[in-house]
Structures are given as C-alpha cells and as structure tokens.
Structure 1
C-alpha cells in the first residue's frame, strides 16, 4: 500500500468520524422537534421491521411538534407501539389520519442528561479518530520496517497524521460546543 493511499484513507476515516458524531448529535433533542429524533424507530409492517420514514411522511411543521402521516392508515397502531417502545420520551396522539408528537419543554435535569449524552457521543468520536491514528501509524511503521519509506519520511508522515488528528478532534469539540449551547439555551 502506498503512503498516499494510506494518508487519503486516514483523512476519509477521520472525516467519517466527524460525520458520525454529527449524525449522533441530531438524535439528541434540544427542546425543538427534529425528524432525526425518530430515525432509529422501526415499525412492524407486513411481517417485517421497517424504518419509520419508510411507512409514512415525518415532518416538523412547528418547533415543538412532529407529525407522522402514514401512507397506509392501518399501520397507525403499529407506529404508536413502536414510538412508545423506543423510549424517545414522546407520547403519540392520533386522529385516525396522522400521528402528532408534542415535544415537551426540557427540564434543567433533562438538559444536563442530554449534555452528558452529547459529551459521551463526542468522546466516542474522538476515540474513533485516535484509533484511526493508531492504525495509520502502525501501517507507516510497517512500511518503514519493510524499507519502503525512510525513518525521516516516517517521522514526517506521523507528524502529518498527528496534525490531522488534532484538527479532527478540535472539529468534534466544536460540534460538541454548538450542541451543548443548543441544549442549554432556553
């Protein structure tokens, strides 16, 4: 494997770690309705589990309201059951045509819990980045051992990987700061 491929792979994996962290943050609610809050919910329909967004339209018409408009109205009870089982903290109300989910105001304790959860997700992202760094550095050392690169090149590439790691971790910290502010702002 060439060094260029290895370094590009490193950049790609670190970028994916940022995107994964960003995606996990969308599932943490901040007192505002977000269709991403329901991403992990699977509904049993026709004998198989399907993602909620594949059995109907999910929208957030108001800041604290989610509306699910199922394409097949007979699946409404299954959607309600899936929402209740998912522990997202929302109670479904249906009028026979659509399901409405009111997003309650967050209490101070609940905000603290969500900040802790956001910090945990950010730390997992950072660990993923550090694991990428470790794997790339091990591959670089193997290349040096196999005499495909010199010791000076090894040092240069390891420094490059460290700079990329520092930048990526800083980006994750920035995402965390934005999410914390979003959660704690009343």
Structure 2
C-alpha cells in the first residue's frame, strides 16, 4: 500500500500548480542522440528551481540544450523553455482561474485513482487471508485479526491520500 501512496504522490506532483517544481519537467522524454533510445530530462540534466516561478535545467552535455528545448516544447506541457547559453530556463506563468479548476479536476481524478488502487490491494489481502483460512494455514481468530489490521492500514492510507489532496488543492488555489 505504501507503494501505491508513493505512486499517487509522484503522479500528483506532475500536476501543474503555478509553482515551479522539478517534477513538471523531470519525466519528459527527449530524443537527444540520433539512433539511441529516448531519455528523460532527469537522466540528461540536473533540474533545479531557483525561485517559485522558474525552472533551471543544466544538461550534463551542453550539446543537448537544443534537444531539451525542442522536447519540452513538443511535450504539450504548456511550458515555454528558452535556451540561455549552456542552460535551459523555463518560466512558469501564473494559472488562470479556469486553468486552476481544470488542474484541480485532474488532481482529484488522480487522487481517486490512488484510492481505488488502495482498495484493490485491500481486496487482494482479504482474499489471501480467506484462502489461508480455507487451507487451514490460519485459524478464524487470526483471519479476523488480519482483516482488522488490513482495514486499519487501508483507512490510514486513504487518510494520507486525502491529506495529500488537501495540500495540492491549497497549492492550486493559491494565487
């Protein structure tokens, strides 16, 4: 269940909130060297946020600056990268009210997806407990205790997802 929570956090980090974060560009796939596999930005460069409205990408190989700019432009992320010598700068424009609402809907969909995955893990754990009881590996008391622990863990993970969602909503609605 912790893995599901981590996946949900990472997924939510990719939702733009008007504030610069490395997660906005780290996983964009770039074609840098002809004839080789595509690379993620984080595999080609260091990504930093010097302030709340900009991202600075410093490539390990300065010959890939143009490829980084092109790849980010083509990613449909709504970001405008600019080549600045040996680095790429990305300014994050403030979000309009309409964009905020749209990103909030997207964030809520990702949160619900996380909740569904948590429930699926719970369902699998409950099936495993029942199977173990049916095969006489555990007793009925142990099954009930296991079910209670699984439910408590599920409730805690759902609360964590809800808390992450509240923070993201606050971040999105901040002007």
Q: TM-score, normalised by structure 2?
A: 0.93
Counterpart in the other structure of 2:9: 22
Runs of 4+ in 1 over 3 A off after TM superposition: none
For 1:41 and 1:93, locate their aligned partners in 2 and report how far apart those are by CA, in whole Å.
16
Instruction: Please state if 1:172 is matched with 2:173.
Output: no
Distance 1:32 1:137 in 2: 41
Q: TM-score, normalised by structure 1?
A: 0.88
Structure 2 residue runs of 5 or longer lacking an equivalent are: none
How many Å separate the matches in 1 of 2:66 and 2:107?
32
CA distance in 2, matches of 1:185, 1:95: 30
1:79 corresponds to: 68
8 Å CA contact retained: 2:66, 2:83: no
Aligned to 1:98: 87
1:110 maps to: 99
* Number of equivalent positions: 173
Supply the distance in 2 between the matched residues of 1:109 and 1:58 (Cα, whole angstroms): 28
The CA distance in 1 between the partners of 2:59 and 2:137, in whole Å, is 59
Equivalent residue for 1:56? 45
Aligned pairs (5 A) from 1:31-42? 31-42=18-29
Q: Where does structure 1 lack aligned partners over 5 or more consecutive residues?
A: 1-13
Q: Residue 172 of structure 2 aligns with which residue?
A: 183
Q: CA deviation at 1:162?
A: 1.1
